[in-house]
Amino acid sequence: METTLRGVGVSHGVAIGEVRHMGTAVLEPPAKQIPVEDAEREQGRARQAVDAVAADLMARGNLAGGEAQAVLEAQAMMAQDPELMADVERRIAVGSTAERAVYDAFAAYRALLAGAGEYLAGRVADLDDVRNRIVARLLGVPMPGVPDSDEPYVLIARDLAPADTALLDPTLVLGFVTEEGGPTSHSAILARALGVPAVVALPGAGELAEGTVVAVDGSTGEIFVNPSNEKKEQLETAAAARKAALSASTGPGATSDGHKVPLLANVGGPADVPAALEAGAEGVGLFRTEFLFLDDSKSAPSEEKQVEAYRQVLEAFPEGRVVVRVLDAGADKPLDFLTPADEPNPALGVRGLRSLLDHPDVLRTQLTALAKAAEGLPVYLEVMAPMVADRADAKAFADACREAGLRAKFGAMVEIPSAALRARSILQEVEFLSLGTNDLAQYTFAADRQVGAVSRLQDPWQPALLDLVAMSAEGAKAEGKSCGVCGEAASDPLLACVLTGLGVTSLSMGAASIPYVRSTLAKYTLAQCERAALAARAADSAEEARAAAQAVLSGE
């Protein structure tokens, strides 16, 4: 019998196939005592296992490249965290086996993170994966992970660790569904980069029986269990129509009546550039430079290393626009040399621009490196600061850019409601705004972007969030300046039309989403987009806003 479930669609496309479940987590090792004379040998086993898992994660990162590489390298550093390792060795010294010591040390650290109000929930999931891999190696059992299968399947999991998502084989994994996660989780971002249909935050997904046939619609978040032949044909026809529309749509982003909306790419480094170029990106709307810094959490990369990485990206877009976000550290991206270790609530503490203003040498080096990287290139370089709260923040950043001799446009990200409310004030100091809708939603609704339980409040269709987008765009228009969106909201084709109707002047997204947004935007006039935006803002919930916009654009 056909039934329908609904989660959060995070990666476009349709997948139809049999369910396969993720390998189960490692069992808890027995708590048995070892003789004192065996402690040194057990400590050696633990170090070898940790080093082997870290090396495996680094190797997976090198294979995956791009954003996935940075995420996996961060996991490798987590595995080799000296404090964790010291705790493991202390536990072994008082009689624990290597595997039990690893299990208990990671459990203690996990409890510490959970006690911080779950603001580091994303890192907790990564921590669990690292622990499971180390314990599995020590026990000599298979690693938890993607199941072996000769036939294509739909993968079901409680959550997917970056190490699993990064190396999914799209020819075998038709799509995936997770019980946890949210639209801005690591898994969601990597799924979009891979072009694999995905649905997250689906309670009870783990109860789907192995071998059950499901149809996954990564656009709507719907899961059809035991779909009828008619439903399969309907979904496949719609998917084929979308694919044909994508192939037919080329060139710059624009509405059907010629209103230009540049479509830009979000990139994490040089490895993401080829996909952006292939998708027809008109430039880069968000260059996440923190991935360069995550290579070594103990110290900032040298000016020379930064110049090399930045220039590779800038050279790829001659005459194009490249918007670079300076280092956004803190919260779920802590760096030992930059972020305070004892903050009770890191997401509301010293992060983003606040960290950089506390460490002006790090900011100065990055801005100088950007200036040198752009020398002699025809690229239109723009540099923006994350976590700008008010005009004073914007002025401090613009002053630092000028002092570094940076010849570029200076901008501010709108991720804090105060920045949207006071957009015109901030624009007295900078030349453009860029809306980070992921964090803007997090701070507007007091809903951690990594916690699946509050994912409905992370839905970018929330009318309150659309109100803040409209305020920012209206402020920018009044000042004769631009206001783009670089958060994940821009990757939703229907929402892209609404954002255009709200007055947003450019859209930046993962490369895989660009063709979908381009083809959808080309179907409607600017006036239709404006009417859809008004209808969405008049709604009282995200679901009603989406339905209202859809009704306007479909002529209902």
CA gap 474, 504 in Å, rounded: 9
pLDDT for res 118: 41
Mean pLDDT of 163-172: 76
pLDDT for res 315: 95
Is 235 a residue whose pLDDT tops 70? yes
pLDDT for res 331: 62
Ordered DSSP codes for 339-378: S-S--SSGGGSS-THHHHHH-HHHHHHHHHHHHHHHTT--
Ordered DSSP codes for 496-533: HHHHHHTT--EEEE-GGGHHHHHHHHTTS-HHHHHHHH
Mean pLDDT comparison of 166-180, 234-248, 382-396, highest-scoring range: 382-396
Higher model confidence: residue 204 or residue 324?
324
Cα 138 to Cα 3, 534, 535, distances in angstroms = 42, 58, 58
pLDDT for res 350: 87
pLDDT for res 338: 76
pLDDT in tens, 138-153: 888 766 677 767 789 9
pLDDT for res 142: 66
Query: Which of the following is catalytic: 401, 483, 486, 497?
Result: 486
Is 114 a residue whose pLDDT tops 80? no
Q: Among all chains, which residue has been given the structure tokens 């979908």?
A: 516
Query: Which of the following is catalytic: 12, 186, 483, 497?
Result: 186
Q: Which of 290, 264, 288, 268 is nearest to 277 (CA)?
A: 264
Average pLDDT in the chain: 88
The answer to pTM > 0.85 is no
Mean pLDDT of 496-508: 98
pLDDT in tens, 255-299: 999 999 999 999 988 888 998 999 999 999 999 998 788 766 577
Longest dimension (CA), the chain: 79
pLDDT for res 119: 39
- Residue 371 backbone phi and psi in degrees, to 5: -60, -45
Mean pLDDT of 322-348: 78
Mean pLDDT of 417-443: 96
Mean pLDDT comparison of 183-197, 223-237, 318-332, 343-357, highest-scoring range: 223-237
Is 197 a residue whose pLDDT tops 60? yes
pLDDT for res 115: 54
pLDDT band at 117 (very low <50, low <70, confident <90, very high): very low
Tokens encoding 104 = 């208990």
Mean pLDDT of 447-474: 87
Half-sphere exposure of 179 (CA within 13 A, CB side): 11
Q: Is 186 a catalytic site residue?
A: yes
Mean pLDDT of 85-93: 93
Q: Is 21 a catalytic site residue?
A: no
Mean pLDDT of 487-503: 93
pLDDT for res 296: 61
Count CB-CB contacts under 10 A for residue 340: 13
pLDDT for res 456: 80
pLDDT in tens, 97-108: 999 999 999 888
CA gap 513, 497 in Å, rounded: 14
CA gap 159, 427 in Å, rounded: 41
Lowest-confidence region among 129-138, 164-173, 297-306: 164-173
CA gap 139, 168 in Å, rounded: 25
Mean pLDDT of 390-394: 98
CA gap 515, 525 in Å, rounded: 18
pLDDT for res 59: 82
